[in-house]
Amino acid sequence: MQLKLLRSKLHLATITGSDLHYHGSLTVDPDLMDAVGLLPYEAIVVSNIATGHRAETYILPGVRGSGQVELNGAMARLGAVGDRIIVMAFAWLEPAEVEGHQARVVALDTHNRIVERLDYSPIAAPD
């Protein structure tokens, strides 16, 4: 049995652009990807705070230091420039790997600058 746990999260990222005719994905400033350990082409879930829409895609690195968060292809239908989204990646862990697991999470301002690193407590061993 494996358990699906949150691994990485960009909380309240602001959509800075979209391109309906691009091949697809979410393009993100590599500084933001690095902050939570997201990898190019990694599967992600994107949730729009304004609409409640949620979709799965993959992440691509954009321009470093730009604050870029762009919806591409079908994902461009998920929201509009200025909408706030949550970007999440998950990991499948064996029960023996769960103890000590800790998600890497940052909260962002409206310019996609990190304003807080959220240190969720590592998962403790079961009693």
pLDDT at 64 over 60: yes
Residue 25 among the catalytic residues: yes
pTM of the model: 0.93
List the domain boundaries for the chain: 3-118
Contact yes or no for 56/43 (Cβ under 8 A): yes
Over 60: is that where the pLDDT of 17 sits?
yes
Using the predicted structure, report yes or no on whether residue 124 has a pLDDT greater than 90: no
3-118 is classed in which CATH architecture? Beta Barrel (2.40)
Q: Which helix (H) or strand (E) holds 98?
A: helix 95-98
Q: What is the mean pLDDT of the chain?
A: 95
What is the mean predicted confidence (pLDDT) over 58-83?
97
Q: Report helix, strand or coil for 8.
A: strand
Q: Is 22 a catalytic residue?
A: no
Single out the catalytic residue among 22, 47, 58, 66.
58
